[in-house]
Each structure stands twice: as structure tokens, then as C-alpha cells.
């Protein structure tokens, strides 16, 4: 069920019988010369809607702009300052609690949002109003990602390229995949951007001239379909698990 498509009287029965909502979040930021700036929020919304369609749980409209200032040097990147983002997401979530939702899955597709969504989840749990958890699609299927790609890359790499080839292939510049690889950082390891154990970079451009990492030529729509189906399965299972938990088992424990 997609909240924005429903008339308010038709949502009454959902709020009377269910207490879970899926909230997709992403970003609007550069993803190299080959992918749209909406890559992250397109992936998040597609996965959340798929899980909602399969389970009947509620999917809210997508939060399209995230914490992305580390991509600001590239044309068109939009970002929210971290405190404003946290407050906005918390406010939106409290909208849902007003209607009776007490558990939320943040269906996230942008790494820059992770720590801030975790902080919002802690606020809501500590107040006893809701149990909200962050879910990152690629972290739910790490073995498959590793199996499909020689160098998957943390941003704008083949895993995101393959997902957009599957979800919205018309937005991918397939003729630029080699340029994306050759103009970015295709080979890296845990020591890249670090000196004597310290992380020395702040922005994507500090490590990659065109803002992306990995070998994009390794991506195909067929691999994207595999990723999408596997991640959707994980999100469905998570939704069903969370809906089954007694709320008292989710809230913060009392001091002992």
C-alpha cells in the first residue's frame, strides 16, 4: 500500500490493524558521468514499494535529499545539513506515530544517511514512541554483491549501476561506463585515503576525479535484477519479523 495514493478514509482500516511503515530514503547527488543524480532514492523507493506490494504494509513517500555534502563539488548535488536531516526524519516519523504506527523501517540506499538514521532511531526508541531501524539494501546481501562483481565499489560502482540498469535503464548512459571506470578510482582497498591509520579524506573528489569507485563495465541489468530480487526478499523478511515482535520487547530496557 502506497500512502500517497490512498484517500484518507481508506487508510483507517490499515491504522486500525497494522503498526508498521516503510520509509524510503536516498539522496540527490552525483553518481558519476553514467548514472542519474537520483540513483539512491530511485533504488530505495523501488525496493520499498516492492516490499509493500508483496506484504501489504504501508510505504510512505520517499525522502529524496539526504546528507550528501561530501559530493558537493559535482554539479547538481543537493544536501541537507545533518542536524536538519535528523530533525526532519524524526518529525516525519512522529507524524506516523500520531496515526498509530509504532515500528518503522528506514529503507535506505545512501551511505551518508546511515549514522543519522541510527541516531533518529535511538531518539524514538528512548522516548518509547516507536522502534525505527535503518536498512541498507547492499548490506543485506553482501555475499551476492561480492560474487557478482570483481570490484563493486562503494559509490557509483557496478552494484548501483546494475540496479539502475534494472530499475530505470533509460537513465543509464551505457556509452559512458568505461569513462566512469577510467576517470574514477577502480582499484582500492582498506588503506586507500588513509595515512598511519587515520582517514585523511572528507569528500568524494579527494579520492576520485569523477566521483565514482569500482568497475562500472562489470554491471548488467540481469545482475541488477538478481540484486533487486534478493534484497527485496530480505526486506520482506525483515518487515514480517518486525511486525511480529511484541512492542514491549523493542523498547529500551529499564535501568537495573
pLDDT tens per residue across span 121-148:
999 999 999 999 999 999 999 999 999 9
- Classify residue 190 by burial, with Cβ atoms within 10 Å: 0-12, 13-18, 19+: exposed
Residue predicted with more confidence, 197 or 85: 85
Indicate the DSSP class of residue 201: -
Give the tens place of pLDDT for each residue, 36-61.
Answer: 999 999 999 999 999 999 999 999 99
With cut-offs at 50, 70 and 90, classify the pLDDT of residue 252.
Answer: confident
Mind giving me the DSSP string for 113-141? GHHHHHHHHHHHHHHTS-EEEEEEGGGGS
Q: What is the pTM of this model?
A: 0.96
Whole-number pLDDT of residue 80: 98
Q: Could you tell me which CATH number the domain at 3-248 has?
A: 3.40.50.10310
Domain residue extents for the chain: 3-248
Query: Dihedral of CA 87/93/96/98: which sign?
Result: negative
Amino acid at each position: 500500500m502506497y500512502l500517497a495514493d490512498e484517500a484518507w478514509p481508506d487508510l483507517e482500516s490499515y491504522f486500525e490493524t497494522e503498526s508498521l511503515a516503510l520509509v524510503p530514503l536516498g539522496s540527490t547527488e552525483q553518481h558519476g558521468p553514467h548514472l542519474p543524480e537520483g540513483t539512491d532514492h530511485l533504488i530505495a523507493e523501488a525496493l520499498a514499494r516492492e516490499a509493500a506490494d508483496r506484504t501489504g504494509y504501508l510505504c510512505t513517500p520517499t525522502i529524496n535529499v539526504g546528507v550528501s555534502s561530501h559530493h558537493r563539488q559535482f554539479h547538481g548535488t543537493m544536501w541537507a545539513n545533518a542536524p536538519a536531516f535528523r530533525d526532519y526524519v524524526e518529525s516525519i516519523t512522529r507524524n506516523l506515530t500520531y496515526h498509530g504506527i509504532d515500528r518503522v523501517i528506514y529503507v535506505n540506499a545512501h551511505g551518508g544517511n546511515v549514522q543519522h538514521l541510527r541516531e533518529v532511531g535511538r531518539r524514538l526508541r528512548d522516548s518509547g514512541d516507536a522502534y525505527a531501524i535503518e536498512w541498507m539494501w547492499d548490506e543485506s546481501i553482501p555475499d551476492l554483491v561480492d560474487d557478482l562483481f570483481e570490484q563493486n565499489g562503494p559509490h557509483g560502482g557496478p552494484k548501483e549501476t546494475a540496479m539502475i540498469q534494472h530499475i530505470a535503464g533509460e537513465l543509464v548512459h551505457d556509452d559512458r561506463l568505461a569513462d566512469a571506470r577510467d576517470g574514477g578510482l577502480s582499484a582500492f582497498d582498506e588503506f586507500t585515503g588513509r595515512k598511519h591509520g587515520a582517514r585523511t579524506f572528507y569528500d568524494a573528489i579527494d579520492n576520485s576525479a569523477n566521483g565514482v569507485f569500482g568497475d562500472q563495465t562489470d554491471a548488467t541489468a540481469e545482475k541488477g535484477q538478481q540484486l533487486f530480487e534478493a534484497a527485496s526478499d530480505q526486506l520482506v523478511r525483515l518487515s514480517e519479523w518486525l511486525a511480529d515482535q511484541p512492542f514491549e520487547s523493542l523498547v529500551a530496557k529499564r535501568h537495573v
